[in-house]
Amino acid sequence: MKPAVTPIWRTVSGFWNIYSRVRKGVLGLALVLFFFAIAAFASYLSPFDPTKIDARRTWLPPNSLNWLGTDWFGHDIFSQMVYGTRVSLLVGVFATLISAVVGTLIGLFGGYYGKRFGEFLERVIDFFLVIPYLPLIIVLVAVVEAMEIPIPVLWVVIFVIGITGWSGTARVIRSQVLTVRERQFIDRARTAGAGDLRILTRHILPNVFPLVFANAVLTVAGAVLSEVTLDFLGLGDPTTVSWGMILHLALSNNAVYRDAWWWVISPGVAIILLVMGFTLIGYSIEEISNPRLRERKA
């Protein structure tokens, strides 16, 4: 007999009850959903093919045909922006999947196993935290490109951002695991004969999970920024349409001196809104799961 209201629905609506109270969380969610919608319906929303060149309509500021203007080759910037959303979301989410999984695993093991293994992992985390982020990414992408592996550049970018972005998550998870580990119910579980794996998955992970989730969302924000920066530096895929690429082309074609403000402003604003969206969601989840951060409304 299936219950009328399934447990999943109850959890989701319960969560929404709490989440909807945090104003910034709702705003963040609205922004992110907005961009997801654009990405999903890109083909319906963009009036032109983003790669279509029109030599007669170059360097045009926003007009009735090209809502965001055109670039040096006549591409319609609005269409480019719409399709570019897909790349940003794709890279952001997938790179974060890698970072979040790696970071959580390392954080879990690093916090749970004390003494040598745990401390060793702590050193590893600290090491990665110290390495300068952008230079590392640049060096990695440059080297991987030189290796001429037949993987599309997009996935190289995803991979590199993913394996360099885990240290923040790992550090946060690790300190949380350290706190949870000391709690009594862990001892009780152990006395009852629970093995390490069981304790980790059944007891520690659920307690740590909200933090994992909050951190993952914040990581997406960082990943989007990294992706944009890589594209801008010319390390991304030159054939894909992405916001970073738009800016890269803008700068290479002297948009600045030609005062083509429309070419520069739109991608920037979109980036800001998307990153802000994820950041707001991440902070809201953090606030909800950490009672101390909650505001005591006067």
Contact residues for another protein, defined by CB under 8 A: 123, 126-127, 129-136, 138-139, 142-143, 146-148, 221, 225, 228-229, 232-235, 247, 250-251, 256-257, 259, 261, 264-265, 267-268, 271-273, 275-276, 279-280, 292-293, 295-298
Q: Which two tokens stand for residue 279?
A: 């950041």
Least separation in angstroms between CB 132 and another protein = 4
Q: Cβ 182 to another protein, closest distance in Å?
A: 16
How far are the Cα atoms of 96, 180, 184, 195, 196 from residue 191, in angstroms, in the given order?
Answer: 37, 17, 11, 10, 12
* Amino acid letter for position 10: R
Taking the least distance from each CB to another protein, the nearer of 78 and 232 is 232
Q: How far is the CB of 268 from another protein (least distance, A)?
A: 5
Structure-token pair, residue 187: 């001892």
In the complex, the smallest distance separating the C-beta of residue 95 from another protein, rounded to whole angstroms, is 16
CB closer to another protein, 29 vs 200: 29
Count CB atoms within 10 A of the CB of residue 279: 18
- Least CB distance from residue 207 to another protein, whole Å? 20
Tell which residue, 228, 73, 231, 104, has the closest CA to residue 176: 104
Nearer residue to another protein within complex by CB, 111 or 168:
168
Quick one: DSSP state of residue 291?
Answer: G
Cα–Cα distances in angstroms (integers) from residue 252 to residues 153, 240, 270, in the given order: 20, 17, 20
Min CB(70)–another protein separation in Å: 18
Output 51 or 175, the one with its CB closest to another protein. Answer: 175
3-state helix, strand, coil in the chain (%, to 5): 70, 0, 25
Least Å from the CB of residue 56 to another protein? 26
Other beta carbons within 10 angstroms of residue 86's beta carbon come to 18
Q: Could you give the dihedral angle defined by the CA atoms of residues 267, 272, 278 and 283, in that order, rounded to the nearest 10 degrees?
A: 170
162 vs 200, which CB is nearer to another protein?
A: 162
Residue 244 CB burial class (10 angstroms; 0-12, 13-18, ≥19): buried
> How open is the CA angle 202-206-211, to the nearest 5 degrees?
150
- Closer of 206 and 234 to another protein (Cβ): 234
48 or 176: CB nearest another protein: 176
